[in-house]
């Protein structure tokens, strides 16, 4: 999964994807939602399929941000409910959530202010750099195990 994220983000950052030749069909949105939910349930990573889809639509950064925020909120609630039903939300998780949720809201507000100052190309570039970081973080454990670190 990490290698897939790295390959796509490098391809996009290298300029191979200068914008959507044509926006993806609406049906792809359902596949993206399913993949984001499945990745969220399996790995805790819901962003890349939705980010890639949104980047291909040609939407303005505000539309991308609003769509991603809504999707991520819905998926996080569904995943948290599933984890709750499986008994995975232990006391330590609640303590961490009590700290992280306010910090996430603060980060969201700061991000909204900063992103409004970016042109659409720079905004997408930052999104693909974040996908690169996710790809690296997914590949590091395997690389460490392979190299015996």
| Residue 102: per-residue pLDDT | 92
Give CA 11 to chain center in angstroms: 17
Q: What share of the chain is helix, strand, coil (3-state, %, to 5)?
A: 80, 0, 20
The pTM for the full model equals 0.70
- Please state, in angstroms and rounded to a whole number, the distance separating the CA atoms of residues 145 and 149: 6
Instruction: Report the residue count for the chain.
Output: 149
| Residue 133: per-residue pLDDT | 92
- Please state, in angstroms and rounded to a whole number, the distance separating the CA atoms of residues 18 and 5: 18
State the CB neighbour count (10 A cutoff) for residue 110: 10
Low-confidence residues of the chain, pLDDT below 70?
Answer: 16-22
| Residue 136: per-residue pLDDT | 92
| Residue 103: per-residue pLDDT | 93
Running DSSP on this structure, what letter comes out for residue 18? -
| Residue 52: per-residue pLDDT | 83
- Please state, in angstroms and rounded to a whole number, the distance separating the CA atoms of residues 19 and 14: 12
């Amino acid at each position: 999964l990490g290698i897939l994220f790295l390959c796509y983000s490098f391809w996009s950052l290298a300029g191979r994807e200068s914008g959507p030749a044509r926006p993806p069909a609406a049906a792809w949105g359902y596949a993206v939602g399913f993949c984001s939910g499945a990745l969220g349930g399996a790995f805790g990573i819901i962003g890349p399929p939705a980010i890639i889809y949104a980047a291909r639509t040609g939407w303005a950064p505000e539309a991308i941000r609003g769509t991603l925020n809504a999707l991520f909120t819905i998926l996080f609630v569904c995943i948290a409910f599933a984890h709750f039903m499986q008994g995975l939300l232990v006391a330590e998780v609640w303590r961490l959530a009590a700290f992280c949720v306010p910090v996430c809201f603060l980060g969201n507000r700061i991000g909204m202010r900063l992103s409004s100052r970016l042109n659409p190309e720079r905004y997408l570039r930052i999104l693909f750099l974040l996908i690169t970081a996710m790809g690296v973080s997914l590949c590091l454990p395997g690389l460490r195990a392979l190299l015996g670190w």
